[in-house]
Chains A and B, each alone.
Chain A
């Protein structure tokens, strides 16, 4: 069984640019959540996608947006990058079923550096 995968592993952008990060959920999982983990901090919830619709959002501005595809993979897009966007971006997938929100399986993350 393949776990959650993310691409790319590392990325360097400059301020004002746009970036797209990708996540493939674990087989059989239909829910994807994205988190931002700044250096030395715990992950912060960005948003969640379920059946291709946004299903909850944390305290992040609209320039953070996402998509989920029919195969349940997902993208995180960040526009107008700022220096503070430098972080590890984590994707987590969850299986279907009652109480499944408890089961979130994390990928290895994408390290984004904004210069």
Chain B
């Protein structure tokens, strides 16, 4: 079945460090891929998405590229800030379905 596996945390980085959070997926066909962010006590916010192979989603300095050959959608940011501290979820929606499949989340803490 469809599923998402993402890098376990927690991840702690110093401000301005480079961030990578790994995400791989299992799905039939061509799903759409997403990264959501959840700040403490809040719901999910869409960070970026990609709907077909080789698409790059980007927002607020974060990027992820849809890699069909490696079934991956790794999240990257060149220089993290304290305000980026949150839990990040990788997710997919199958091209023939209507529900999201989420990973278990990766907690990121950025220290000054």
Contacts and interface: CB of A to CB of B under 8 A. Distances in A.
A73 interface: no
A42 interface: yes
**Most B-side CB within 10 Å, residue of A42, A104, A105:** A42
Interface string B95-108: 00111111111000
B79 interface: no
Contact of A43 (B46, B49, B98, B102): B102
Given A56-B97, A56-B99, A101-B98, A42 B45 contact: no
Contacts of B73: none
A45 to B, nearest CB: 4
Interface in B46-73: 46, 49, 51
Interface residues of B, number: 22
A90 B98 contact: no
Interface string A41-59: 1111100100000011010
Contacts of A104: 100
A107 interface: yes
A90 B51 CA distance: 23
Interface string B14-38: 0000000000000000001000100
Contacts, number: 53
B43 A40 contact: no
B43 A90 contact: yes
A48 B98 CA distance: 8
Interface in A93-114: 99, 101-102, 104-109
B100 to A, nearest CB: 6
B99 A42 contact: no
Interface string B73-112: 0000000000000000101010001111111110000000
3 closest residue pairs by CB, A with B = A42-B102, A45-B99, A106-B44
14 contacts: A40-B104, A42-B89, A42-B102, A42-B103, A42-B104, A42-B105, A43-B44, A43-B89, A45-B99, A45-B101, A58-B99, A99-B51, A102-B49, A109-B43
Interface of A: 4, 33, 35, 40-45, 48, 55-56, 58, 90, 92, 99, 101-102, 104-109
